[in-house]
Amino acid sequence: MVVVFGTLGFRPKSLIPTIRSTPNVDKVVFYCGADKSEANAVKKVSEAKKEVLSYCSAMKLSVEAVDLDDPFDFKSIAMRIRGDIRRHKRAGKEIAIFNIAGGTRPTSAAALLVCILEGVPTVYVHDLTYEEIPLPLLKMEYSQVLSGEEREILRTLSKNRSRRLTEVELASLIGKHKATVNHHLRNLVAKGAVRLERHPSDLRKKVVVVEESTELLLGDDE
Amino acid sequence: MRVLISTFGSEDADRVLQAMRQLPYDKLVLVGDDRVPESDAFTRLNNLEEIAGHTIDFETADQDDFMELVDGVSEILSRHGDSGKNHVVLNISGGSKLLGDAALLAAFRLGVETFHIDDRITKLPILRGATARDRFTSSQVRLIEMIGAQNPVLGDLITGMAPSSKQSAERVVRELKKQGMLVSEVRDCKVHLSLSPTGLEVLRAVRLITRDKRV
């Protein structure tokens, strides 16, 4: 099954050309949402959504319209999109393309980020001509820039986010010597993936804090 | 020196103010279209910077072509990074969608720490210093650079890879083909290789990073 992903704002014509130009497409998944305090924006997005749904129905395409609770919450949007892409990949579906032209700025940027992390081909649609502009994207493989130990540390910190671990506690959790963990932590601090903060009750100690985006970086949703 | 670079549009003063409050910096650089310096938002921020004894560095990013925009922002990030002497932090929440997306792509190319600062602050999963080049071995980078924008014959390319053996050079070609970096076609009974659009993007990124390291 071939799936087209997209983000949708006010203009259905920013998404429909991609559905038309993708061969053998079976399913369309698109993300939409508007600032709920702006009645006009909500109305426009709703009309655009109706038009895309009606087009897909006429073309006999399966469709999944995802209403974003908050189309300005970058991280939640990226997590949601990455989860959906991985779900489709696991089910053996081919993700032909992701159209990132529509939707709010955070929605479009979050979609682009996920496409880079997942290696999904991406396309823009020109504002005036509605021509598609394919983006030559790179897949960023974190397995190639993080060592196995670094990934293990990030996963452990991420799973134990609420515990505010010290270096010694972290070393004990992953069963490695404190000096080894210290070496890897220094690399991770230099890469901006973790930071060290003062312990809340013991000024001699520091706690290791993982950046919030780590789940996105590791992409562990299984 | 800490440099805060932010994409910027005429209505983005509050977003950038939020970034200025959250991220420590010594120099503020705004990137936007050529109408931005005339805007009230820009004047407001520039007045604030002047009170602190500084001015804003404004960089124009021409927004006609997406990939040119990516190259433009990459060049700005690279220049202000000053070969690693400065610590550059990027905020992509301002300006048009096109500019924000182009800046994100440029940040991935160059491994620049990046945020999306709005009402919320989101640090994006870009590892500082982890560039597009890190995905490739040195032999793969060498082959990509050798092909460049040309359309060389496979046999000549393999020979040019010396002192690598024929077998290793052929393996590199296979690896890059598998990754979708190369396209081959037969002309006059000879196999010609060229870079795919993704391969060309890698070449652009590699050239930027190499130039950055040489400066």
- Please state the domain count of chain B: 2
Asked if the Cβ–Cβ distance from B105 to A116 is below 8 Å, we say: yes
**Mutant choice from B14, B70, B89, B101 vs A, greatest count of A C-beta within 10 A:** B101
Domain A2-135: which CATH class? alpha beta
Dihedral sign (CA A182, A184, A190, A196): negative
> Hey, is A26 helix, strand or coil?
strand
pLDDT at B209: 72
- Confidence band (pLDDT; 50, 70, 90) for B213? low
B109: left (phi over 0), alpha (psi -120 to 50) or beta: alpha
Q: Which domain holds residue B108?
A: 2-123
Residues B143 and B119 reside in one and the same domain: no
In angstroms, the CA A47 to CA A59 distance is 18
| Domain termination residue (choose one: B123, B154, B175) | B123
Question: ω into residue B163 within 30 of 0, thus cis?
Answer: yes
Residues B99 and B150 reside in one and the same domain: no
Residues B202 and B151 reside in one and the same domain: yes
Residues B35 and B104 reside in one and the same domain: yes
Whether B97 contacts chain A with CB within 8 A: yes
Cβ partners under 8 Å of residue B81, min gap 6: B3, B88, B110, B112, B212
Is residue B159 in a domain?
yes
For B75, the token pair is 């060049």
In angstroms, the CA A66 to CA A29 distance is 7
Instruction: Provide, as residue numbers in chain B, all residues whose Cβ is less than 8 Å from the Cβ of A217.
Output: 125, 127
Residues B90 and B67 reside in one and the same domain: yes
**CATH code: domain of residue B154:** 1.10.10.10
Is residue B190 in a domain?
yes
Asked if the Cβ–Cβ distance from B129 to A190 is below 8 Å, we say: yes
In angstroms, the CA A143 to CA A160 distance is 21
Residues B98 and B174 reside in one and the same domain: no
Is residue B6 in a domain?
yes
Asked if the Cβ–Cβ distance from A137 to B201 is below 8 Å, we say: yes
Residues B174 and B113 reside in one and the same domain: no
| Domain termination residue (choose one: B78, B104, B123) | B123
| Under 8 Å between Cβ of A64 and A29 | yes
Q: Write the single-letter amino acid at A16.
A: I
Cβ partners under 8 Å of residue A10, min gap 6: A41, A44, A45, A48, A102
Whether A116 contacts chain B with CB within 8 A: yes
pLDDT at A220: 61
Asked if the Cβ–Cβ distance from B120 to A74 is below 8 Å, we say: yes
Q: What is the CA radius of gyration of chain A?
A: 21
Task: Answer yes or no: CATH 1.10.10.10 is held by domain A143-218.
Answer: yes
Whether B120 contacts chain A with CB within 8 A: yes
| Domain termination residue (choose one: B97, B123, B149) | B123
Is residue B128 in a domain?
no
Residues B207 and B188 reside in one and the same domain: yes
Residues B184 and B104 reside in one and the same domain: no
- Give the pLDDT confidence of B100-156 residue by residue, as tens digits: 989 998 998 888 999 999 888 888 887 776 777 777 888 888 899 988 877 888 888
- Give the pLDDT confidence of A197-212 residue by residue, as tens digits: 988 888 888 899 988 7
pLDDT at B211: 63
- Domain regions of chain A by residue span: 2-135, 143-218
Asked if the Cβ–Cβ distance from A192 to B118 is below 8 Å, we say: no
- Give the pLDDT confidence of B14-38 residue by residue, as tens digits: 999 999 998 999 999 999 999 999 9
CA distance to partner chain B, nearest, from residue A191 (Å): 4
Residues B118 and B18 reside in one and the same domain: yes
Same fold? A2-135, A143-218: no
B residues 14-43 closer than 8 Å to A (CB): none
- Give the pLDDT confidence of A161-203 residue by residue, as tens digits: 888 899 999 999 999 999 999 999 999 988 888 889 988 888 8
Is residue B129 in a domain?
no
